[in-house]
Amino acid sequence: MTDTPRPAAGGSAVKVLVRVLVSAAVGAALLLAWVQAYRAGLLDRVVNETTFGEFIMLVVIGLPVALVVSGLMAGPVLWLLAVRPVWPVVLTGPVLLAVAHFLGLPERLSGLGDRWTVLILLAGLSYGLAGLLTAPAALRRRK
């Protein structure tokens, strides 16, 4: 027998809880930043004054660029806040948010507030769920 201490189960639960809460906060803050940029008029010209062809280019090129920029912004923040590994949360969070859109959750939750508030809440939930779903890999890595 060795005298190596075993990690306590409670310590793992706290790590997962912190991972979920930090991921949720970063996801919500990220969408809040995009909403504020839109409300300030920074994205208004691009989104509202486009023809159908430009809209297609915006979806084909602009959306992937926005996702990459979001990942580049969220990744370092999550890393600084001790969420490791970062990449599963950064990749899974937007996918879960897209699934929420596909399932019509923003419309179903419209009673919680205006459209932007619901989207920010859904982003927080998506990133928090991503943190939870990817927690087993993070716990295995730390051992």
Q: Per the domain annotation, does 125 fall within a domain? A: yes
Burial class (CB in 10 A: 0-12, 13-18, 19+), 67: middle
Q: Per the domain annotation, does 7 fall within a domain? A: no
Q: Per the domain annotation, does 132 fall within a domain? A: yes
Tokens linked to 29: 């803050």
Q: Per the domain annotation, does 62 fall within a domain? A: yes
Quote the domain boundaries for residue 103.
23-142
pLDDT at 61: 74
Cα 131 from Cα 35, distance rounded (Å): 23
Cα 91 from Cα 62, distance rounded (Å): 17
Cα 26 from Cα 60, distance rounded (Å): 26
Q: Per the domain annotation, does 134 fall within a domain? A: yes
Count structural domains, the chain. Answer: 1
This prediction has a pTM of 0.78
Q: What is the pLDDT of residues 62-104, one digit of tens each?
A: 777 877 888 888 999 999 998 988 999 999 999 999 899 899 9
Q: Per the domain annotation, does 9 fall within a domain? A: no
Q: Per the domain annotation, does 16 fall within a domain? A: no
Contacts of 122 (CB under 8 A, 6+ apart): 97, 100, 105, 106, 109
